[in-house]
Structure formats: C-alpha cells, structure tokens
Amino acid sequence: MKKVIRLFMVLSMFMISACASDPSASQEEKAQRTDDIYIFYTSDVHCGINENLGFAKLKALVDDTKAEHKNVALVDLGDFLQGGTYGSISQGEIVIELMNTMNYDAVTFGNHEFDYSVERLSELMKKANFDFTVCNILYSGNKTNIFADVPPYIIKEYDGAKVAFIGVTTPETLTTSTPKYFKEGDAYVYDFCYSDDGKKLAEQVQKTVDAARKEGADYVIALTHLGSVQENSPNDSISLIHNTRGIDAVLDGHSHSVIIGDTYPNADGKDVVLSSVGTKMANAGELIITKDGTIETALIAEYDHEDETVRKAIEQADQEMEEILSYKVGTLDYDLTITDEKGIRIVRSRETNAGDFAADAIRHLMETDVAFANGGGVRHAVKAGDVTYGNLLDVFPFSNSLGACKATGQQILDALEFCSKDTQPITAFDEQAVGEFGGFLQVSGLKYTIDTSIASTVTMDEKNMFTGITGERRVKDVMVLENDAYVPIDLDKVYTVSGSSYFLFESGDGNTVFKDCERIVEYGPVDIEALIKYFTDLGTIPEEYRTTQGRITVK
C-alpha cells in the first residue's frame, strides 16, 4: 500500500518525468541488474530541515523505498549549513547532527558551507558520518588543505552497476561567501576553477568524469552547486553539460530553481538529464535508473508519514537550540534601542544606538569602508543586563545574507538621498510614528545631515524603484571615516560597501543604486553572524554605544 501511495503522490503532482536513454551502461551490466536504482536528492536546504517536506518525511520515504528495493541512495547538493537559526546559532553543528540521522551516501559543498570560515567547516566535516565529494577545489597554500582527503567522486555499487557521484561546488565561492576565509596572508590559496568562459570548470569536471569511467563507473551522476539561470552562466549547470561528455545526469542546486527534469545535449550531442529541487525542502528529488538503463526524475513535495527517530532528533535539536538561544554572550549597562524616550519607533527615520551597533557589526564582519543596516530590518531593542544569543537574533530575525560591493562616493550619496526621501522634521503625530521608511539606512563609516526643509526630489518608477534625483538634494555634509577621522566624501573615489544582499543587489525597498556595482561578496554570511561576532569580539560593549553618535543629523 505504501508503494501505491508513494507513486500516486509523485505522478499525480507532477505527471511527467524526464527520460533519457543511458548511453554508457553496458549490455552486460543491464542484464545483471534485477531492480531499478533509486537516488533521492536534496539541495539548498538552508537549515530548513523541519520545513515543507522536511527531513522526517523524507527519511520515511527513503526507508520505505529501501524496504521494497535494494538499490537506494540519498545525496545532497550543498547549501545546508547556513540560512536559518539551526545554522547561525550553532555555527552549523545542529545541522550536521540532523543530517547524520538521514544516512546520506554522498554530499557536496555549496558556497554557503564556507560562511563560518574554512576552519569551522573542517571541524564540522569531522563530525559528519557521511562522505563528502568535490572535484573543483584546488589548494596552493602552505598550511592545511581541509579538502585533501575529500575525493573528487564516490563510486557506489548497486546490483552489479557502479554509479559515480561527482561533487562540483560553486566556482564563484570566493565572492559568494567571504573572500578573506580563502587566504593565507594576502594570497588566495583556494581555487574553485572559476573562469570567464567556464572552460576551467568544464576541464576539471571532464578530467574527473574520465577518471571515474576508467575506474569502471557505469553511470556518472554530477552533484552540482552551480545554478541554471543566466546570471550563473557560463559556470552554470547547463553550460557544464554542453561542454562535457560522459555525464548521465546533473542534479543541481544554487539558483533555487525547480526543475523536474529537463534534457540538454552534451559535447557529443547526447541528452543529459538536469533536475533541481528548489530550496528549504520544498521538494526532494528522485532519480530512477531503470533496469533497461532509462533515467527518470521526479520531485516529491509531500509524503504521508514521518520517521519517528528523525522527528525525535529534530525535537531534541529544537530543545538544544533553545538552550543555546538562552546562552549568555555578555552584558549591557544600557539599552540598545530602536525607539525614542516616548516609545515611538524611530529606527526607520532617525539614527538609533541599536542601528549604530548593527551597522558597525556588519562593517566589522565584512571589513568594508562603509556599511548599511536597513532600518526596517533592525527589529528589536537589546535591553540592559545579560544578553543572550536569542536577544541578538531578535534584532536580526530574518537571516538575511550579507553582501559587499564597490561603489563610488556619488552612488553612496544617491543611496542616502533615496533612503531619506520620507524623513520628516518630526517623528510622531498623535503618538504615531511619521516619516518612516523601511529602507532608511543606519550607517557605519559615514555621517551626514538630512535637511527636511528641502522637499525630496527623488524619482521612482511605477514599482517604486529608485530612478534618479531631479532637483536639490536634502542630504548634506556627507563624511567618510578614514584613519579614525571623518573627511568629506570623494564623489569619484571607489569605496567598499556592505549591507544585506537584499538591499544591495535585489533592489530591496526600491533602492536600485548598488545592484549593478562590482560585487565583492554576493550572498555571504547571514546578518545575525555579524551581531554575534561583533558582540563576542568586543567583549565589553563600549560606552560610546550608550547614545547615538551623531552619524545622522536631521534638521
């Protein structure tokens, strides 16, 4: 009965599968096999272990399949450690503990596995009871290569058939995680095979495919964290298929695409299956290699019961997380607040000491000249007394990724002008806040004045996206912190700027100023990481944060 329910759910939800005749398996191998091979896959879980389909239901599905079929595998395509509270609060350890309950057969790395540092990833790898694989991380340093023992592929044998799983991580990891993590001194020592034409990646993968075939692999399944959309090109999964031969299927992550199963021609013109499951356990994938060598793929968004062992592990993790959230990271002698003395929320229209602290934390972690914290994203005060991880998570509850880019002084001025368009000379009327804007920017490394006697001349399109400034500017006297002193901003100078990727690169709150700037870090560590690191690195929170520091003057 379970088999009927399972097949009904897959076929009724998607009603199609991608099929491609396998070009590589020998007739002898096909004749030997008595059952299909089932490969389940996850990707871009981003700590969403208990969301949507979730781990408990997926484990039940995998185990039910194992009860009826002898050839079953479970693999992951990366980006599991970061993106939610499980990861942020435990630096990824809770995620590894829960993945250990799933019995993964092969796992590759996403770019966000590096967000807690290479050293932390090394610690977490030692705690994992599953095998990692990656073929495109090259090391040129003089210390310890944490990937020295990670194989470029893993071969598993199923009923006489040898299946090679090849791990391929994101070539742009140097810029989509935190660049400093990949250096020894001033030199980058980790190379992810990025090139402007995608050939370096394709050549490295091809070399790995050839080695796996030489070792006897009948099927080659690429576990990739490349993405399949235009912005990932030419180091994307589709380009990889076009530029290689000998891969039977590519299971892909990174772009959060939902692809049941498409086919693309490889370098020899033979069709290769591509599938992707989305993010946060919205789906799990299922690839079936049938006895006659046909490859079928499906996505599964629901299952009818859960594995009790995994469910109890998740409940234990939730309890552990609550204990961590209550862990004391320090003390404050004063409040970090987002309101004025009357309780009116002003973080979206005025400088606050919580906003100063948040912006400074981002600049501290990202090591940029200037940092911004969206007023709408600084959600909660931190009260005087003992401060816990949970208190800091209340400030940044959304786990937004941080980014960094290069921008001119003129672009910084434009961003400030846009963020100040709604600022009023008063902050409240009839005890209600006025002049609020979620995109109002709390700043670090800057100070400036907003002259509310000048009406805003910011222009926006029909979607409220910034398009320009037509008249006099209300933002005046902009200064940049250099060598511990504020100096006038240079409109032509290029500065490094950090903030949430939502604001910098996704035009969050309509701020389009930085979306086309050269990106240093595209989607890096989550914002709560900045608060935790800054708070712990400071040890004692300085008196300077007791009040605002005169960074934003409103007149």
Which tens digit of pLDDT belongs to each residue from 385-417? 999 988 988 888 777 889 999 999 999 999 999
Predicted confidence (pLDDT) at residue 263 exceeds the cutoff of 70: yes
Task: Write down the pLDDT at residue 317.
Answer: 94
Residue 507 has pLDDT above 90, yes or no: no
Whole-number CA gyration radius for the chain: 26
What is the 3 state secondary structure string of 232-280?
A: HCCCCHHHHHHCCCCCCEEEECCCCCEEEEEEEECCCCCEEEEEEECCC
Per the document, the length of the chain is 555
pLDDT of residue 229: 86
Contact 338, 347 (CB under 8 A): yes
- In the predicted model, is pLDDT for residue 110 greater than 50? yes
Place of tokens 């940044």: 396
Alpha-carbon dihedral 377, 383, 384, 390, rounded to 10 degrees: -80
Q: Report DSSP state, residue 103.
A: T
How large is the average pLDDT for residues 127-136? 98
The tens digit of pLDDT for each residue in 483-492 reads 999 999 999 9
- What's the pLDDT at 433? 86
Is residue 18's pLDDT more than 70?
no
230 with 188: CB under 8 angstroms?
Answer: no
d(C-alpha 50, C-alpha 56), whole Å: 8
- Whether the ω angle into residue 152 lies within 30 degrees of 0, i.e. cis, is no
The closest of 116, 548, 102 to 335, measured between CA atoms, is 548
Q: Taking phi first (over 0 means left), then psi (-120 to 50 degrees means alpha), and beta for anything else, what does residue 121 get?
A: alpha
Instruction: Name the one residue in this structure whose structure tokens are 């239901």.
Output: 57
Alpha-helix runs per DSSP H in 101-147: 118-127
Residue 479 phi, psi (nearest 5): -125, 145
> Mean pLDDT throughout 425-439?
88
| pLDDT for 21 beyond 60 | no
Structure tokens at 426: 């008063």
3-state SS, residue 27? helix
Contact 327, 91 (CB under 8 A): no
Residue 30 has pLDDT above 70, yes or no: no
pLDDT digits (tens, 9 = 90+) for 462-479: 778 899 999 999 999 999
pLDDT at 32: 65
Place 22 in a pLDDT band, splitting at 50, 70 and 90: very low
The per-residue pLDDT for 194 is 92
Please give the share of the chain, as a percent, with pLDDT higher than 70. Answer: 94
DSSP per position, 168-234:
E--TTHHHHS-GGGGEETTEE-EE----TTSHHHHHHHHHHHHHHHHTT-SEEEEEE----SGGGTT
Structure tokens at 143: 């210390």
Percent of the chain past pLDDT 90, that is, above it, reads: 72
Helices (H), 44-183: 54-68, 85-90, 93-100, 118-127, 173-176
Residues 6+ apart with CB under 8 A from 320: 90, 94
pLDDT exceeds 90 at position 19:
no
Cα 118 to Cα 91, 150, 217, 271, 433, distances in angstroms: 12, 14, 31, 37, 45
- How many CB atoms sit inside 10 A of residue 517's CB? 18
Whether the predicted pLDDT of 480 surpasses 90 = yes
> Of 30 and 330, which is predicted with more confidence?
330
The helix/strand/coil state of 530 is helix
pLDDT above 70: residue 7: no
Looking at 26-40, 95-109, 340-354, which range is the least confident one? 26-40
Q: How confident is the model at residue 177 (pLDDT cuts 50, 70, 90)?
A: confident
Whole-number pLDDT of residue 20: 43
d(CA 421, CA 398): 25
For 501-555, where are the E strands, in sequence order?
518-521, 552-554
For 424-428, the CB contacts below 8 A with 24+ separation are: 424/349, 424/452, 425/452, 425/453, 425/554, 425/555, 427/340, 427/344, 427/346, 427/349, 427/350, 428/340, 428/342, 428/344
DSSP structure class, residue 514: T
| Beta partners for residue 552, in sequence order | 448
- Cα separation, 485 vs 489, in Å, equals 12
Specify the residue for token string 């910011």: 458
Residue of higher predicted confidence among 529 and 357: 357
Give the SS3 label for residue 299: strand
Note the pLDDT of residue 222.
98
Which is more confident, 432 or 81?
Answer: 81
Residue 348 has pLDDT above 60, yes or no: yes
pLDDT of residue 4: 30
- Is the pLDDT confidence value at 17 over 60? no
- Domains present along the chain, CATH in parentheses: 2-28+38-321 (3.60.21.10), 326-554 (3.90.780.10)
| Model pLDDT for residues 239-252, shown as the tens digit of each residue | 999 999 999 999 99
Give the pair of three-digit tokens for residue 96.
Answer: 């590894």
Paired residues of 503 in beta bridges: none
Mean pLDDT of 140-168: 95
* Contact status, residue 530 vs residue 435, Cβ threshold 8 Å: no
At 88, the pLDDT band (50, 70, 90 cuts) reads: confident
* Mean model confidence pLDDT for the chain: 90
